[in-house]
Structure 1
Amino acid sequence: MVEAVAQATPWQVSFRAGDHEGSADTRKNGVGGSAGMRPHELLEAALATCMTISARMALADLGVTDAEVSVQVHVEREESATRFRYRLALGPALEAHRPAVMERIECSPVRSTLSKPLTFEPA
């Protein structure tokens, strides 16, 4: 569970998950700042980090350790749909493993979660 708490500075929020803390911020109509990632960037970060971990796990299963791998994610918010575009970057020596790694990141836990119908309910 993550708890977010509004800060005194407009639109700044601190959040905590267990012993880990972070901050988020946004700017709207000239108010706010850039003290942390914007909320949609946190969503992109959740997917990108999960896919990167999944890619590393796939490569480890193939016997590749200390792999050069990264994933970039960009969310596009449209009227009728939300689209997540992602790009897997592998070191040149790892390109032969791209199909296996892509298969693994396409079923990563956060992607699987975001692919299901979502509901929002107060606790």
Structure 2
Amino acid sequence: MTLPGYRTYSPPAPPKRSTMARASQVLGIVGLVGLAACFAGMVPALAGLVLGVVCLVRRTPDRRPAMVGVVCSTLALAIGAGTLFWLLSKAAQCGNEARYPDDLSRRGCVEREFPFAQAGTQRY
């Protein structure tokens, strides 16, 4: 019980932490790291981007992790999409029948353009 005119001391409440903002941050970072595993990071990056944008639109008090999540997710999606576009354009060049009329020349183009993808079907 307190005397009239005096208030009891209560410590300030800890700041609210947004779970969705933290999830966006984690998914954005996982998306960046996951790009090294055959573009597997694009799926978590897309989820992180959606969660981060939802947090920013809702104006949650814990905005910094949401911003980090949006930036990392956008970066992962941009790098992944650019690399995928580049690889598919290289593959389309090798599939051009006017430039490479027979199967042997197309296969030579694939081996020249993609030296990291060794042919898995070797005939003995």
TM-score, length-normalised on structure 2? 0.29
Structure with the higher strand share, 1 or 2: 1
Bigger RCO (CA 8 Å, 6+ sep):
2
TM norm structure 1: 0.29
Higher helix share: 2
